[in-house]
């Protein structure tokens, strides 16, 4: 029986053949990165939840509501501000005036109309107007006349606008409404001059705005 040869006698040892192609470390790193990226995309493929509040539509709605409220407050005839120059007389009646009339304010020192920024007529002391009313420079035909020219000029413009509005709405356009907001110390002579001028300007219905007794006690 022959003895096995020593390793040196068998010749040089050959390296084992590789089982498959080997990748470089750099290429393996890129492959793993792309695989991890694909997995992350699959995990986040679901629709994300909305985690913020879109307030644009809400602001539009609040703006519309605010404009409506301001318009309602501005057009309300019962929200007349009172101060030392204008205090309404007291009444037990609680009927509300119409909203279509033009407001004529008679305070202790001036007369204003509607939303006009400038006053129509100014005077120093309302008590002195009890006999002859306003000065002759405000009248059409002298001191004893009842027609207040500056007031008529403004009311004529309001009357023309109200007439067109009523005709467009199918309402009676033969006359317009006037809401008189007079201070409680207003002399009858001055009040009558204002009413007469309004009547000459085709304002045939009047509403005298007063405070209720409960408003005075409060």
- pLDDT single digits (tens) 161-171: 999 988 888 88
Check if the beta carbon of residue 191 is closer than 8 Å to that of residue 180: yes
Token digits for 206?
């009047």
| Predicted local distance difference test score (pLDDT) of residue 81 | 64
Nearest to 115 by CA among 89, 153, 147, 77: 77
pLDDT one-digit tens code per residue, 111-132: 999 887 788 999 887 777 887 7
Residue 24: predicted pLDDT:
60
Strands 110-113 and 211-212: unpaired
Q: Is 214 exposed, middle or buried (0-12, 13-18, 19+ CB in 10 A)?
A: exposed
pTM: predicted TM-score of the whole model, two decimal places: 0.55
- Report CA-CA distances (Å) from 27 to 23, 35, 36, 39, 105: 6, 12, 14, 19, 91
Candidates 65, 66, 88, 67; CA nearest to 78 is: 88
Write down the pLDDT at residue 120: 92
Total Cβ atoms within 10 A of residue 74: 9
Residue 93, pLDDT score: 47
Of 185, 184, 188, 194, the residue nearest 216 (C-alpha): 184
The rounded mean pLDDT for the chain is 75
Q: Is 217 exposed, middle or buried (0-12, 13-18, 19+ CB in 10 A)?
A: exposed
Angstrom distance (rounded) from CA 52 to CA 47: 15
Helix or strand run (H / E) with residue 129 = none
């Amino acid at each position: 029986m022959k003895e096995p040869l020593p390793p040196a006698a068998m010749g040089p040892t050959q390296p084992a053949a590789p089982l498959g192609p080997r990748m470089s470390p750099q290429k393996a790193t890129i492959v793993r990165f792309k695989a991890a990226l694909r997995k992350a995309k699959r995990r986040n493929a679901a629709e994300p939840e909305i985690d913020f509040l879109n307030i644009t539509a809400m602001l539009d709605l609040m703006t519309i509501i605010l404009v409506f409220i301001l318009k309602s407050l501005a057009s309300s005839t019962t929200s007349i501000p009172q101060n030392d120059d204008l205090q309404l007389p007291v009444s037990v009646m609680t009927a509300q005036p119409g909203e279509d009339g033009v407001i004529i304010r008679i305070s202790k020192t001036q007369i204003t109309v509607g939303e006009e920024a400038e006053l129509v007529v100014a005077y120093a002391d309302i008590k002195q107007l009890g006999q002859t009313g306003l000065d002759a420079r405000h009248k059409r035909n002298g001191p004893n006349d009842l027609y207040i020219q500056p007031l008529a000029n403004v009311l004529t413009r309001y009357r023309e606008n109200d007439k067109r509005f009523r005709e467009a709405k199918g309402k009676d356009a033969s006359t317009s409404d006037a809401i008189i907001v007079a201070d409680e110390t207003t002399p009858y002579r001055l009040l009558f001059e204002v009413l007469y001028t309004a009547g000459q300007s085709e304002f045939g219905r009047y509403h005298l705005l007063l405070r209720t007794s409960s408003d005075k006690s409060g």
